[in-house]
Structure 1
């Protein structure tokens, strides 16, 4: 199907998942399968996006598109729902078992490191740690350097307030105020926690203390051009994370809707994500601690997004994937531009 048809179908089926209130898709399925409203249907949990994710993938290059369905749980009813959705797409769908989706701000191991550079461990004093994504300049205050990462890394899922200490390394790796302070929480985009209102980003900035040195590292020479997700699907991308360092992968889906598990917060809904699968055999694109890493195209040096989480699945059981929020809306919302 063409992109417009795929997007329309995605929105229609997504609406059927997030608006169900009677723990079933009976009305939807019965009308499709039985010709009327009285047919029976398998149970469907209210929290459908905790078990399933829905997006758009490309087929036959980038000229044809299909529905992409991710299974976060290995349950018969979830598989049945996935195949129902595939039927609604006239078979033009791909089903992947990927495991539970989580925000990835945890792991172990690093020492303080200056000058700062993308890929280092950082975090609010109330979190474990995540990744320094990229250095940015504010459109409101260009005299001070900032860096970009996730809200759940720098703002502790909105529990942090402007001016709070940001540490390097993160607290789980030994960072402790005041000796490990590198700057202060600056701007953040608040997260919607009701599980219904969609988030399209998980982002915040830290303003560096004046005596902290920095280097753009592997992000030197990034393009000022940020391509839209539809131009990136099927492309190779890379990121530099605190845990897995530099990895590469392929953008397999765009416009993806799912729920990610946030420790201490529960499931948060996200829409319009990009999905990345690793290019490297036996190696994931991301793991815990990589949250906040900037994702870019290594060939064109175009930045494309900010890593926010991934799935926990063992590679032997399925396909672990990573979730990336498109970058352009993030930069505009926070009022910053990349430094490279």
Structure 2
């Protein structure tokens, strides 16, 4: 029968895909839609953009602008062109010979194929909540939450805000990162493979964006400061 999942966020979301569900470049496996954003300057300030990781939307640098972005990701059954929701718009190149601060990318989406809310499942049915538009700097012990493709909605606390981390990518190369946020779950794992790209927000009614999930291991989730992501991609939250 293969892998059996308990109501995962791997479904084909139609007519509009929310943040928190499976997505991916046409040549990768699958990650998560982190948020729907827009550009800070013309002409991207008139576009609806999807935020996720480089390794989710840009295939670890091995992609071209305009490549198809699928929802769900190919690993979850997404096929091109039937499941295309956007095209690769912009990414920050990962540097395997120096220091990195972000792993991020955007896709230019058809407005009628995505929606800005984050998703969660209640009784097997999709429900939605909006995240805030004003980012906040991470602090130790801050309670946070995320909606992701694999582990769905989880909560945890920030245990570090500026650590160095080495991340091994699928191509066998390792990238060094600085100013990495570390998070542990309150009950069980905060994330798992496939949650990459999830937007991490404060665990309160404001849901202010804190970081962008990009890696994990040994029970710890790693995220990038969201202010660095916004500046690197020249974007803002809706």
1:226 matched residue in structure 2: 135
In the alignment, the residues of structure 1 paired with residue 118 and residue 182 of structure 2 have an alpha-carbon distance, to the nearest angstrom, of 25
Q: Gaps (5+ residues) in structure 1?
A: 1-107, 314-319
Q: Which has the higher helix share?
A: 1
Q: Retained in 2: the 8 A contact 1:193–1:265?
A: no
Q: 2:189 aligns with which of 256, 261, 284?
A: 284
1:117 matched residue in structure 2: 18
2:3 matched residue in structure 1: none
Please state whether the residue corresponding to 2:101 is helix, strand or coil: coil
In the alignment, the residues of structure 1 paired with residue 108 and residue 22 of structure 2 have an alpha-carbon distance, to the nearest angstrom, of 16
User: Is 1:150 matched up with 2:53?
Assistant: yes
1:308 matched residue in structure 2: 214
Root-mean-square deviation (Å): 1.7
Structure number with greater CO (CA < 8 Å, separation at least 6) is 2
Q: Retained in 1: the 8 A contact 2:118–2:147?
A: no
Aligned 1:14-25 pairs, distance under 5 A = none
1:214 matched residue in structure 2: 115
CA pair 271-110 structure 1, distance change in 2 beyond 3 A: same
Aligned 1:84-99 pairs, distance under 5 A = none
In the alignment, the residues of structure 2 paired with residue 276 and residue 151 of structure 1 have an alpha-carbon distance, to the nearest angstrom, of 21
Aligned residues: 219
Aligned 1:173-188 pairs, distance under 5 A = 173-188=76-91
In the alignment, the residues of structure 1 paired with residue 137 and residue 9 of structure 2 have an alpha-carbon distance, to the nearest angstrom, of 35
2:103 matched residue in structure 1: 202
Displacement after TM superposition at 1:220 (Å)? 4.4
In the alignment, the residues of structure 1 paired with residue 214 and residue 200 of structure 2 have an alpha-carbon distance, to the nearest angstrom, of 10
Q: Retained in 2: the 8 A contact 1:109–1:173?
A: no
Displacement after TM superposition at 1:109 (Å)? 8.1
Q: Which has the higher strand share?
A: 2
Q: Gaps (5+ residues) in structure 2?
A: 1-7, 120-127
